Amino acid sequence: MGRNVRRVAILGGGITGLSAAFYLKRHARERNMDVEVTVLEASGRLGGKVNTLRKEGFVIERGPDSFLGRKLPMLHLARDLGLLDELVGTNPQATKTYLASGGSLKPMPKGINLGIPNNLGLFARTSLVSPHGKLRALDEMRIAPREGDGDESIGAFLERRLGREMVEKIAEPLLAGIHSGDLYKLGLAATFPEFREMEKKHGSLIRGMMEAKRLAPTAGAQAAKARAEAVGGYPIPPTVFLTFRNGLSTVIEALEKHLREDGTEIRLGGEVVRLEKASAAYRLHLKDGSALEADAVLLTMPGYASLPLLAPHMELGPLGDMEYVSVANVVFAYDGKGFGHRLDGAGFLVPHSEGLTITASTWTSAKWGHTAPADKRLIRCYVGHAGDDSDVELSDEEMTDRVRSDLRTLMGLAAEPQFVEITRLRRGMPQYGIGHAEHVAAFRKRLAAALPGIFATGASFDAVGLPDCVRMGQDAAEQLLAFGE
């Protein structure tokens, strides 16, 4: 790093900020560069949304619970932190997923992937979609692709191709669950770009999905090879999702340890409230009245916290109006004796049209063996719809009652929980609207011109998954180093 960029401030101590700090220190050292890094975290703890509670023998995730193993940056980070032997996979017996329909749970229809039929024989047999809905879905193979390159909402795209019934009954609970959003507001290009690619390449999503299924064994073998290479052949579980046996906070704790040993300053309670251009650097004003100078600054907090710091210096554009969805995570711990349900699967999804408080549930102790003692059970339920925060703001008591009532209706579960843990993640899910990727690119261009040496990244910008956050941290570290060279 050049003489003019020695002090770097990283705002936000979530997975993105900590990964950025880790790789910045590491690459600077490899290149014999001298760089002082300060991580400023507003709250009293590191990790941001990653937040594991270890209680009475249970491993409870209050935010994310796992990550996609085929996305390699998280595996690289686990390797770099010496955590490969801590990785655990899902229980191979707990693969079944259910869908709430008419007040009870039905097995997720077969022959459908991400809400799109990929085996027509199996799809024809599902009772969850009416005969008319199925015929309309099959028409998809005859509908010409949309012309032009403009973005559209996922809801509009899927309705155009597969019809409204498929969107409401199948795609909405599956896809909206991933982003906790409104399918008619989420932009296709920033959330499921592969769908548009299939439409363009195969002229049909169904044909594209059937082709992907045909190629799955080859793609799977390639992914397994890449994964093995990423961890130097270390035998890690081969499952789609992975986590750490003591919870995701394991990676945060390891990052903190490495950073402190490496001389990185970590300031908890370090909320930055104003950013000022100083003569050859930037001055950051903290809520506690103190200030700090830095030659380069990386903002990794959610957009609703980072963008106001930039607004006095530049035009934010459409990103300034970005929406966020609040969600609550309600975890029930039970004694296995008298529990009264087999938990024969990974959990269930609930379409909005069912009118329930729960939007989805993970049968955590069945899916992840490490999360509960053998004689206990753990269930996690999600609450919160796009555009309506009322359920998330229910009192703890009322939320518990409503969720338990839904569990009684859907699963016949009446057991008394040993304890309940409720976590509200207000504005927890950024909503990538129509044209989001273009808005981010244009915003970054304006940022580079208005405030050279200031970078903004994190889940509000490019992607929400944990491996993507690690990758964004790695990329930001490279940008900071390149800026100083």
Return residues touching ligand FAD (CB under 6 A).
11-17, 40-43, 48-50, 63-67, 270-272, 300-302, 305, 327, 329, 425, 428-429, 458-459, 464-466, 469
Q: Report which of 451, 434, 444, 437 is spatially closest to residue 476, judged by C-alpha positions.
A: 444
CB of residue 293 to ligand FAD, shortest distance in Å = 16
Q: Report which of 77, 69, 13 is spatially closest to residue 39, judged by C-alpha positions.
A: 13
Q: Specify the residue, 5 or 305, whose C-beta has the smaller distance to ligand FAD.
A: 305
Pairing of strands 376-383, 358-362: antiparallel
Q: Specify the residue, 12 or 109, whose C-beta has the smaller distance to ligand FAD.
A: 12
Residues near 86 by beta carbon (within 8 Å), at least 6 away in sequence: 78, 244, 245, 246, 250
Backbone dihedral angles phi then psi of residue 336, each to the nearest 5 degrees = -70, -25
CB of residue 274 to ligand FAD, shortest distance in Å = 10
CB of residue 217 to ligand FAD, shortest distance in Å = 26
* Measured distance CA(406)–CA(413) in Å, rounded: 9
Q: Specify the residue, 133 or 428, whose C-beta has the smaller distance to ligand FAD.
A: 428
CB of residue 430 to ligand FAD, shortest distance in Å = 8
CB of residue 414 to ligand FAD, shortest distance in Å = 27
Residues near 300 by beta carbon (within 8 Å), at least 6 away in sequence: 10, 11, 12, 14, 16, 17, 20, 306, 456, 457, 458, 472, 473, 476
Provide the angle, in degrees to the nearest 10, between the axes of the packed helices 154-162 and 193-202. 30
> Are 189 and 436 spatial neighbours (Cβ–Cβ below 8 Å)?
yes
Helix or strand run (H / E) with residue 76: helix 73-80
Residue 366, both tokens? 């069945």
> Are 143 and 204 spatial neighbours (Cβ–Cβ below 8 Å)?
yes
Q: How far apart are the first and last CA of the chain?
A: 5
CB of residue 385 to ligand FAD, shortest distance in Å = 13
Q: Specify the residue, 5 or 50, whose C-beta has the smaller distance to ligand FAD.
A: 50
Beta bridge mates, 456: 299
Q: Specify the residue, 11 or 162, whose C-beta has the smaller distance to ligand FAD.
A: 11
CB of residue 304 to ligand FAD, shortest distance in Å = 9
Backbone dihedral angles phi then psi of residue 285, each to the nearest 5 degrees = -100, 130
Q: Report which of 484, 19, 12, 6 is spatially closest to residue 251, judged by C-alpha positions.
A: 19
CB of residue 150 to ligand FAD, shortest distance in Å = 27
Q: Report which of 96, 125, 103, 122 is spatially closest to residue 111, judged by C-alpha positions.
A: 122
Q: Specify the residue, 214 or 274, whose C-beta has the smaller distance to ligand FAD.
A: 274
What is the chain's percent helix, strand, coil content, to nearest 5?
A: 40, 25, 35
Q: Specify the residue, 162 or 298, whose C-beta has the smaller distance to ligand FAD.
A: 298
Residue 160, both tokens? 């155009």
**At 321, which amino acid appears?**
D
Q: Burial code of 332-369, b = ≥16 C-beta within 10 A, e = fewer?
A: bbbeeeebebebebbbbbbbbebebbbbbbbbbbbbbb
Residue 314, both tokens? 């530049």
CB of residue 19 to ligand FAD, shortest distance in Å = 8
CB of residue 384 to ligand FAD, shortest distance in Å = 9
Q: Specify the residue, 349 or 464, whose C-beta has the smaller distance to ligand FAD.
A: 464
Q: Specify the residue, 65 or 199, whose C-beta has the smaller distance to ligand FAD.
A: 65
Query: Using alpha carbons only, what angle is made at residue 368 by residues 365 and 372, rounded to the nearest 5 degrees?
Result: 40
CB of residue 277 to ligand FAD, shortest distance in Å = 18
Q: Specify the residue, 205 or 275, whose C-beta has the smaller distance to ligand FAD.
A: 275
Q: Specify the residue, 246 or 409, whose C-beta has the smaller distance to ligand FAD.
A: 246
* Measured distance CA(81)–CA(237) in Å, rounded: 18
Q: Specify the residue, 272 or 366, whose C-beta has the smaller distance to ligand FAD.
A: 272
Backbone dihedral angles phi then psi of residue 357, each to the nearest 5 degrees = -80, -40
CB of residue 425 to ligand FAD, shortest distance in Å = 4
Beta bridge mates, 349: 99, 360
